Amino acid sequence: MLLSVLAAAVAPGIALLAYFYWKDRYDAEPLPMVAKLFLTGVLIVLPAMILQRGLTLWLGGSPFLFSFVISAGVEEFLKFFVLFHIIFNHTEFDEPYDGIVYATAVSLGFATLENVLYAFLEPVTFGTLMMRAMLPVSGHALFGVFMGYSLGKAKFSTGRQIRFHLWMAILLPVLWHGLYDLMMLSVPSSWIWLVVPFMVFLWLRGIRRVNRANAVSPFRLLKREEEINS
């Protein structure tokens, strides 16, 4: 029973990470590096919980502050912090889409441990775990897409554009994450009618960014040459 609950809690994060990993059309990232970022996302859950508890005691629990500062602000800042210091200047970050791969790895590591804790600390059914897979877990993946897309833009920009895209790499995930949390807190009786269309909207925007990042890969021309020569 415990193993089945654990598998159900872990599977969505792994499946989503595999999906975004395989979306890399031209130069797949080394799996050990992706796994390292995934585990880093797992490790930042504890400091996030400590910071969130402290901020809740200090600032109170108003829905707006909780959504945009205590929840989204803390979690997305920690994800950005580890991404910037571990991967931004790494030699493996050599095309814009790599930002999406590594950011979703961190985000899904974070979301996976959250899901495991929820599964073991709260009364759950298969249906509630499926709902979490479709909403909070996939939400973290999409927040990672937005962060990673902007990191990729920053990595291959020059001058003031670097700083601009770095700011977008944290502000956009905080915005979308905060809106998601605010919906869940503010309209608990009818949240599904707002959150599901909101998630569809995020998926459409996220896939558009996936395609854009792939479209500007420096390896796309080499891939075409290989296909022509073969």
Q: Say if CB 63 and CB 131 are below 8 A apart.
A: no
Domain that holds residue 170: 2-217
More confident residue, 147 or 124: 147
Total count of domains within the chain: 1
Give per-residue pLDDT as tens, 53-106.
999 999 887 999 999 999 999 999 999 999 999 999 999 998 999 999 999 999
Least confident of 44-58, 162-176, 209-223: 209-223
On whether residue 211 sits in a domain, the answer given is yes
Considering the domain boundaries, does residue 228 fall inside one? no
- As a whole-number percent, the residues of the chain with pLDDT over 70 amount to 89
Q: Looking at the domain assignment, is residue 30 inside a domain?
A: yes
With respect to residue 229, please indicate whether it lies within any of the assigned structural domains: no
Q: Is residue 227 assigned to a domain?
A: no
Does some domain include residue 225?
no
Q: How far apart are CA 27 and CA 97, in angstroms?
A: 9
> pTM of the full predicted structure?
0.91
In a domain, 226, yes or no: no
CA dihedral 183, 194, 171, 110 (to 10 degrees): 80
